[in-house]
Amino acid sequence: MTFKLQLRLYPRLLAGWKFLLSFRKKDWSLEDYPILLRRQSDSSQQLGKTGRWTLPAYEARIVNWTLSGSGDTAAAAMESLRERFNHARESRSSMPRPGTRVPLEFASRERIAEYSGLADEFLHSVLGHGEAWISDESSLWDFALGDSLDDYYAKISALYNVDVSDIPDGNLASILERIAQSRKM
């Protein structure tokens, strides 16, 4: 068996094992889930560049679930995963059985839907995209390549005559609301 095949089989075997063990109890902790911990290599470091988005050295993730954590050490990645796991436990009505596939959940689009026409215009004129899926949690940072949103703030100000620089997280729903409000005035 080749090494690559073993790497692909290991998560499946681990998930199957944790699935079988999960029948021994009903209240699962993080340790009951199949977790993969891996060291990541950051392509920006290989290119000799550093920027806003540098890849943490370690990632810990639960197999068959999008839940993951990252950090500069293996322990930090596990702690990050534990925090996210605890948040998921608090916000979900029930936890998925360890080893099972957990479907991807998309963020709400209620606020964005209120401004769908404006959102399409904004995507094209400000972000330079014909189409993109954005949610109420989407941000200018999702599209930014640099360390600052100043270029976007300037473009929004020039196109819509609205200052959104006080929205530091660059939340698109908040920006669209501000633009829509200014149009009503």
Looking at the predicted structure, is the pLDDT value of residue 52 above 90? Answer: no
Looking at the predicted structure, is the pLDDT value of residue 59 above 70? Answer: yes
Looking at the predicted structure, is the pLDDT value of residue 163 above 60? Answer: yes
Burial class (CB in 10 A: 0-12, 13-18, 19+), 168: exposed
Q: Which of 77, 96, 100 is nearest to 12 (CA)?
A: 100
- Region 47-55: what's the mean pLDDT? 59
pTM exceeds 0.75, yes or no: no
Structural domain boundaries of the chain? 8-91, 110-184
Rounded Cα distance between 179 and 120, Å, is: 13
